[in-house]
Amino acid sequence: MRRPCLFFLACVPLLFATRGAAADDAVALPPFIVEEASKGPPWRYAEAPGYEILARCNDAATRRIVATHQRLHHLLAEMLPPSLQLQCSLPRTLILYDEELQPAASREVIARMLRPNGIEPPEDFSPSPGFRGMRITPPSVRRLSFLPNLRLWDRDAMAVFMIVRRDDFDAERLALTHDYISFLVKGRVPALPLWFVSGLLTLYAQTTYESDRLTLAALSWIAETHTDAVKKDPKTAPPVQPLADFLANHFASPTEPFTFDPIKAWQAQAALLVRWGLEADAGAHRAALWKFVERTAGLAATEAVFSECFGEDFAAVHARLTAYLPAAIRRPVNFKPAKLPKPAPLMLRNATDGEIARLKGDWERLEVPFVKNISPDLAPKYLEQARRTLKRAYDRDDRDPRLLAVMGLCEADAGNAVGARELLETAARLGPIRPRANYELARLRFEEFGAQPAGGDGRLSVTQASEVLGPLFAARAQQPPLPEVYSLIGEVWLHVATKPTRGHLAVFDEGVRLFPRRPDLALRTGELYLREGFREDAAAYLEIAVLIATDDATRERAAHLQTQLQSLP
């Protein structure tokens, strides 16, 4: 789990748009569900395109939620096609839980959490529901609340938990949140151009959902005063920046008689360009916009590529944007698909013990770092629960490699290298495993081989290197690409007792292209090319490392390698 602060209180992908956050000083915890503690319906399982669903609620409610989820994503594609979204080889998980079952589960969990601290909950204790879920405030104890909806993610997967009100579900009140869209575009690999990410998110913040369309509010130009100026006379407002400078992420400097914030001006133009590409001339430029974004993901936006996509040069489109601006700030715009596809039937059945353990256990594993970030003393309870859930199926001889991979990741996250290695090795023998599981297996093998290298001069043998590279290249073939995979491949080649060819090193060209904002990858690539005598490649990547370095240590290391390069004959 990474960057937990980014998804705190994020109720996505489904969120009641009419509900706002209320001030609350309680510690907000993820839902803690102990299904065997409360009587109720069985867990149900289904698969939908790109998703696995585990539900303990009414089948009709489950079908309505999944159908709404699919409809919202079809509407989103009018602004953001799937090709420009984060892709995952692993199906995403959607866990639905009946609200009426939550109090009993929460009551048991809270009691279990409080007793080790010497606090006995009152006999008549019953958590009271609030908009955030179940809440408890016993004497001398900080307040705890359980979030009703939450999205968590790992490096290679995403899961959503949602408390379901069976009699109070209004599909028209649900929308995909801004946080979720930000997750999709910022997590996409190769990285999308900054101007597109900024422009799209600016527009989406002013977007509303209706049953069959998206509505974008009128555009704002830099600030309210400048927007009003455009309405009166466009010549009295700051002009649209030349595209060559704008697409190179250069901020315009205010000139007389205009005064404005250069960053806000750049952000406003990003929104203008995206909106023009999506809507102007009856959507005639939409395909060109998406093609241009795809072509320049991780690369420079040259005028040649721009002209290939739009059929016009920078100057021509600059004139079009200038002419389009007055209309964009005066009116909203609707995006409506020609036809919303009919949802495929959702075939629900009782979930197997293995499916419950794998999906619920993986969710509980993801809860651990979330809780550790906000309430470290409670994190061990969540880890215990995840282990119990996963082990329940394992003890019944379930050896699904997907289950074993989750168990291995749970132990790796907990710092149990020996247990993680054993589980991941078994999972890899039994079948394909997920990207991060492949990476963790390779990392654990590399640590062991590094302590006992079998090659000459304290280096890895070819066999050892092959055993580490195998799962790394399996992860490389999956989605999403992981930067740590390329970093570890570099570590292997730096420590192996054989000399790589130029073809072997080509994988690092791919890594830098996929992650152009990772100075560590550029630095490692330059170091490898320098060591193997590829001077031009080394010079190029070391220069990139210097340009994108975010700390002095990286800059100094790159500069040192550049000095070595210059001293070579």
Q: In this model, does residue 168 exceed pLDDT 70?
A: no
Answer yes or no: are the C-beta atoms of 73 and 174 closer than 8 Å: no
Residue 267 to residue 252: CA distance in whole angstroms: 11
Please name the helix (run of DSSP H) or strand (run of DSSP E) that holds residue 164, with its range, or none.
strand 158-164
The pLDDT confidence band at residue 261, using thresholds 50, 70 and 90, is very high
Range in 8-12, 306-310, 325-329, 531-535 with the lowest mean pLDDT: 8-12
Answer yes or no: are the C-beta atoms of 363 and 95 closer than 8 Å: yes
The pLDDT confidence band at residue 8, using thresholds 50, 70 and 90, is very low
More reliable by pLDDT, 27 or 500: 500
| pLDDT attached to residue 110 | 56
What is the DSSP code (8-state) at residue 96? E
| pLDDT attached to residue 108 | 60
| pLDDT attached to residue 38 | 52
Range in 132-141, 214-223, 416-425 with the lowest mean pLDDT: 132-141
Instruction: List residues bridging with 174 in a β-sheet.
Output: 16
Q: What is the pLDDT of residues 479-504, one digit of tens each?
A: 999 999 999 999 999 999 998 999 99
In the chain, the percentage of residues whose pLDDT exceeds 70 is 85
The pLDDT confidence band at residue 106, using thresholds 50, 70 and 90, is low
Q: In this model, does residue 243 exceed pLDDT 80?
A: yes
The pLDDT confidence band at residue 25, using thresholds 50, 70 and 90, is low
Range in 76-80, 111-115, 122-126, 301-305 with the lowest mean pLDDT: 122-126
The pLDDT confidence band at residue 343, using thresholds 50, 70 and 90, is confident
Taking all residues of the chain, what is their mean pLDDT, rounded to a whole number? Answer: 87
* Averaged pLDDT for residues 219-236: 95
The pLDDT confidence band at residue 26, using thresholds 50, 70 and 90, is low
In one letter, which amino acid is 430? L
**Nearest CA among 437, 423, 468 for reference residue 450:** 468
* Averaged pLDDT for residues 358-387: 93
Residue 152 to residue 441: CA distance in whole angstroms: 23
- Please state which CATH class domain 499-569 belongs to: mainly alpha
**Nearest CA among 133, 137, 106 for reference residue 122:** 137
Residue 152 to residue 106: CA distance in whole angstroms: 20
Phi, psi of 462 (to 5 degrees): -60, -40
Residue 299 to residue 248: CA distance in whole angstroms: 11
Q: Label each residue of 408-460 as H, E or C.
A: HHHHHHCCCHHHHHHHHHHHHHHCCCCHHHHHHHHHHHHHHHHHCCCCHHHCE
* Averaged pLDDT for residues 514-519: 92
C-alpha to C-alpha distances, 22 to 131, 150, 424, 489, nearest whole angstrom: 9, 16, 43, 47
Angle at which helices 483-495 and 502-514 cross, to 10°: 150
What distance separates the 2 farthest-apart alpha carbons in the chain? 83
* Averaged pLDDT for residues 451-464: 94
**Number of neighbours of residue 488 by Cβ within 10 angstroms:** 19
In the chain, domain spans: 4-182+341-350, 218-331, 499-569
